[in-house]
Structure 1
Amino acid sequence: MGGLLKFVIILLGVGWLLGQLIRYFLRTKLAKFARQVNEAAMEERRAQQQASRSKNSVNVDFIPREEIEKRKKDIEGGEYVDFEEVKE
């Protein structure tokens, strides 16, 4: 009788320990999987935004310094245009 009780207690202890270990490993694997899925979704969203941005707008990565200076010179002065106000 004493041997059977000891066997049942050991069996319950081993079962509890295995349950805890399985729960720990499943939790870590599921967290890793969720992180990977989240990163993939963010990457896809970023790619879609980049594609929509390139369709709707013009991106200028580099403007030569001479061009900037030329534009400044063109804008600084200007022609005076005389106009007349017309009343109806």
Structure 2
Amino acid sequence: MVKFLIIILGVGWLLGQLIRYFLRSKLAQFARQVNEAAMEQQRAQQRASRPKDSVNVDYIPKEELEKRKKDIQGGEYVDYEEVKE
């Protein structure tokens, strides 16, 4: 009788561990799917909110970026005077 109870408790514990493992993996998979769906919905909203006549630049060549960096080298110094009231 004691052997039977130990076996039943062992099998119950093992089943509990297996169920917990599978539930965790299924919940993680579900969370991933919900996250991907939310991201896709956000991308769709961003695409829809853009004006249709606007220009979107996805790529700027490296030469152009280097040229822009060389053009801006500091700026003009403007002398100012502090006015106290």
Q: Which of the five TM-score ranges fits, normalised by the shorter chain?
A: 0.5 to 0.7
Instruction: Tell me what 2:46 maps to.
Output: 49
Could you tell me how far 1:30 is from its partner in structure 2?
Answer: 0.5
CA RMSD of aligned residues (A): 1.5
1:17 has 2:14 as partner: yes
1:59 has 2:55 as partner: yes
Q: For 2:8 and 2:24, locate their aligned partners in 1 and report how far apart those are by CA, in whole Å.
A: 24
Q: Secondary structure at the match of 1:26?
A: helix
**Whose helix proportion is higher, 1 or 2?**
1
Q: Which has the larger radius of gyration?
A: 1
Name the % identity.
74
Q: How many residues align?
A: 57
Could you tell me how far 1:60 is from its partner in structure 2?
Answer: 5.4
With the length of structure 2 as denominator, give the TM-score of the two structures.
0.62
